[in-house]
Structure 1
Amino acid sequence: MDLKQLQYFIACAQTGSFSDAAKILYSTQPSVSKVIKSLEDNLGMQLFERLPRGIRLTVQGQKVYHYACKITNEVELLENMSSSGMTKWLRISFNPSSWFADQFVEFYNETYDKNYHFQLTTAGVRNIMERVRDYLDDIGFVYILSHQKENFLYELAKNKLQFEAFYETDVMLYPGKLTELLSEDRSELLLNDLKEMRFIQNYQDEFFDLGAAQDDSFQWKDLDIAVLTNSDYVMEKMLRNSRLSNVSGSYLSEDKKGATPGMPLDIDGNKVIFGAVTHKGEIPDCSVGEFIEFLRSRLPKS
C-alpha cells in the first residue's frame, strides 16, 4: 500500500465515479480502476460497490475512508512542516457567524507572535461533523437547537465524536428593516407570526428538523426560506435593506444587531446551544485548547 493508492481511493470516494476521479487526478479511468483494484487486493476487501452509474463505498470501504483521510492529512501536515519549519496550522470549521468571525480576528491579533497559521471553513452542522470525523479539521463549532441535542449526540457517537457545550441562548427573530414588525410594539413573537414572513438563513441544515416529535412542534421546513447563504456579509446587507428576516441565536455581532433589533421567539421552549465538535478520547493540541479558552472568555456570562 502506498500514498498514491490512498489519494486515488479518497478521490473516488468523494466523486462517486472512477471517471470523475480520473479528471481531478489528471489520470485515466482505466488507470484509476487499476489502482483501486490493487488497493483492494492489498487490503483483502472490497472497497466499492460497482453500480450501473458510478460507485459507492461498502461498509468496510467507509471505515477505510476515515483512516485514509487521516493518513493523507497527516502527511500533508508533515510536508507543510518540512517546507515551512515548525509552522503550526489550526484547522477550524464553523457555522457562519459574525460573532465568531469577530472573535477569530481578535484571537489572531493576540497570538500573532506565535506564528499560528489557520484554515477556516464555514459549513452546516452535518458537514462540520463529517469534516472533523475525516480529520479535515481539528475542531468544529456549531449552533444547534436544544430539542435536537439528543439526536445530534447520537450522530456524533456513531462517528466517534463528542460535543462540548459552551453557551445557551434564546432563539431570536431578526426582522429585516423593511418589515412591518419593526413598526409594531412587540416584545415577543410566536410561531404563527412567522407564517407570512420570508427568511434569509445561513444553512437549511439537516439537523434543524431532528427531534421534532410532535406534529405541532417547530419544523424548519415550515419557514419560507427565500435566501440561503454562507455569507454573514450578505445576511447583514439583506437585513438592512430588505423585508427578509432571520432566525438564530442572540449571539449575533453588534453590526447585525445594529441592523435589526432581535426579538425573543417562543419555539416550544427551545434554546440555541453553541459548542465544539472534536474527536472522542483525543487530547486537543495546545493551540486548539488555547482558542477554546479564548472563546469561553468572550462569551456572555450565563
Structure 2
Amino acid sequence: MNWINNVVRPKIQRVFKKREQTPDNLWHKCGNCGEMIFHRDLDAAMRVCPACDHHLRLGTKERLASIFDNADYQTVPVDGVTLDPLKFRDQKKYPDRLKEARSKTGRDDAVTVAHGPLDGVETVVAVEDFSFMGGSLGMAAGEAIIRGAETALEKKAPYILFTAAGGARMQEGILSLMQMPRTTVAIQLLREAGLPFIVVLTDPTTGGVLASYAMLGDIQIAEPKALIGFSGRRVIEQTIREKLPADFQLAEFQFEHGMVDMIVHRHKMKETLARIVRLMTHRPRNTRQAGTNVPATLPAPAP
C-alpha cells in the first residue's frame, strides 16, 4: 500500500498535472461553421471567423481600441447608483450576481463610456457589453449612457453607441424600465444641440434596449447577421400562429425592411464611422479614408 501511495500515485498525478498545464483556450470553435480558430488569429481578425466571416462578440476593451485612433482614449467616470434598491433575490442575491459579473468581466457594469479621437475628430463612444449580465439595462447602465450624452454635449462631440443587450434588468424592476425614458430624454438633448447620435447594433440587441435608445440614432448601423428584435422568435410565432422567415430579426432582414440604414463589416467599421462623423459635423474629408463605401447623402445636424 505504501508503494502505491508513495510511488505509483505521484507518478500518475504528475502525468495528469502536465496535461492540465496546457491552456484549454488556445483554440476557439466558430459557432456558425464549426471551424477551429487559433486564439491569436481570432484576436488579430477582431473576432471575425476567417472561414465563414461570422462576427463573434467583441469585448469592450477590444471594441474601444478598434475605434479610436491608435487605441488612444480616456474612460468617462460614471456616478455610482444604489447597489440593490429592491433587495432582490432569485436563486442568488442580486449583489452576489453583480459581484460575480464584475469579477468575470473586470467592469463595474454593462456600459463603458470613453472619449478620444476618431480620425482626428473628438468623439464619445459607449459600449454595451453582453458578457456583463447579458448587457441588461439597469440603473448603472442607464446612468452611463446619460453620462455619455452629457460628455458629448460638454465637448460638442458626436456620440456613438454600440448596443448588445437582452433587455431590461429584472432584478431592478420598474427602476430598470425607467432608464428607457431617461436615456430617450438624453438623446433628445443631443438632437436639439445638433450633435450626431450614431447607433451600431451588434449581436444581440433586444428587449427594452431596442425599444428605447438603440433605435433613436440619426444613423442606424448593424453588424452582419446581428440579432435585432424586441421579443423572441418563439413568442412571436406563438402569438401570431405563423411560421416566421428563417432570417427574421437578423440585421439583413431589418435592413430590407427599413429598420437599419446600413450593414457594416467589423473590419470596415472605423473608417465608416469616421466618414459619417465627418459628413455630419461638416469636417473636411480625411484623404486617408478615401475609398470607404459610405453613402454620400447623410442628414445634416439640426440647426
Fold match (TM-score > 0.5):
no
In the superposition, the TM-score normalised over structure 1's length comes to 0.29
RCO (CA 8 Å, sep 6+): is it higher in 1 or 2? 1
Q: Which has a greater percent of helix?
A: 1
Q: Which has a greater percent of strand?
A: 1
In the superposition, the TM-score normalised over structure 2's length comes to 0.29
